[in-house]
Amino acid sequence: MTQRITSQMIGNTTINAIENDLTQLTQVQQQLSTGYQINQPSDNPYGAALAISLTAQVNAYNAYQTNVTQGTAWVQSASSSLQSIQQSAQTIRTLVVQGANGTLNQTDLNAAAQEVLQYISQIKQSANAQYDGNYIFSGDAVNTQPWNSTATAADPPSEDVYSGNTNSINYSVGPSTQIQVNANLYSVLGSGITTGTAGTSSHGGGALQSDGSGGMLATLRTIYNDLTATNGGSQADLGNQLTNLDTNLRALGSIQATVGATQDSLQMASSRLTAFTTNAQTALSNVADTDMAKATVTFSTEQAGYQAALQSAADIIQTSLLNFLQA
């Protein structure tokens, strides 16, 4: 059976072809204008799902990188404060060595004691350092000032009491990966000379006790008492306190080493996240971004095809109408 081809069939076929060409041209034009080859899920369902997953990965890596940046700033603040404390303690050590040699009179020893009080105040000011409004040596009680900044000659000095806690602060720097950014400075400084043990010249101890005594602040307070020969202190005990202070400085050095290791870990985490982010962004670009050179060529081809289709359609339809009228 022979099927008759009518003018209407030719017209419909031509119009469908024009519409398809226009759709493809519009799609390429949209890719060029937006810069994305996937502008709606129907453009590429699999690619759209992959793009969503890769975007989520990039956002997660950026969030981790923010934590790394904040953690690094926190640790750098801690490192600077610890260095300042070390410098003050080393200066006090020099005063203790001078005072222990037995050649200074009491006037000179009293002057050295006043310097010790000033350095105690400086040490506690450094220990009260903040980052972004948070105290960095208060444990997780970041809104609580850890030590009173003053240093009077009172015995026992209540302003040496530690007001923070020893809880850790952890930053997430990757999937199932956390790094503790705060350091336990209380384990070095302690809470000074406590009421129950005030007046004992050897109370510095060099090691932190369960009541918060025995740390560096207790050693420094005992040094003050020994220099002034008050509250049971004596110049002869300065040698013992020199040993205690060296123990405190070693403990401080251990904290500094821990902070340095934390900073190294954060730097490695940052490098790792940068690499992961770059890889994910490259994969996302390959899936979602428009290849501008390719799309430009495609657009020119589609545009030429569309113009040719319009011209052919005009010729076909014009001939068909003329034939119809002649009939």
pLDDT at 198: 40
Beta bridge pairs of residue 171: 179
Residue 18 one-letter amino acid: I
Non-local (6+) Cβ contacts of 61 within 8 A are: 273, 276, 277, 280
Q: Which fold has domain 57-281?
A: f41 fragment of flagellin, N-terminal domain (1.20.1330)
Beta carbons of 127 and 81 less than 8 angstroms apart: yes
pLDDT at residue number 102: 83
CA distance 17 to 2: 25
Domain residue limits, the chain: 57-281, 292-319
pLDDT attached to residue 133: 95
pLDDT digit string (tens) for 41-75? 666 787 788 888 989 999 999 999 999 999 999 99
pLDDT value of residue 162: 95
pLDDT of residue 89: 98
Whole-number Å distance between alpha carbons of 132 and 136: 10
Residue 199 has a pLDDT of: 39
8 Å CB contact between 121 and 151: yes
pLDDT score for 178: 96
| Tokens of residue 184, six digits | 């336990």
Q: Residue by residue, what is the 3-state secondary structure of the chain? A: CCCCCCHHHHHHHHHHHHHHHHHHHHHHHHHHHHCECCCCHHHCHHHHHHHHHHHHHHHHHHHHHHHHHHHHHHHHHHHHHHHHHHHHHHHHHHHHHHHHCCCCCHHHHHHHHHHHHHHHHHHHHHHCCEECCEECCCCCCCCCCCCCCCCCCCCCCHHHCCCCCCCCCEEEEECCEEEECCCCCHHHHCCCCCHHHCCCCCCCCCCCCCCCCCCHHHHHHHHHHHHHCCCCCCHHHHHHHHHHHHHHHHHHHHHHHHHHHHHHHHHHHHHHHHHHHHHHHHHHHHHHECCHHHHHHHHHHHHHHHHHHHHHHHHHHHHHHHHHHHC
Q: Quick one: pLDDT at residue 301?
A: 66
**What local confidence, expressed as pLDDT, does residue 194 receive?**
72
Divide the 327 residues of the chain into consecutive groups of 10 and give the mean pLDDT of each group.
Answer: 56 60 56 60 77 91 96 97 98 96 91 96 97 97 95 86 96 94 96 62 68 88 94 91 95 97 97 94 76 55 60 58 52
From the list 210, 204, 185, the residue with the least C-alpha distance to 93 is 204
The model carries a pTM of: 0.77
- Closest by CA to 295, choosing from 49, 42, 17, 34, is 34
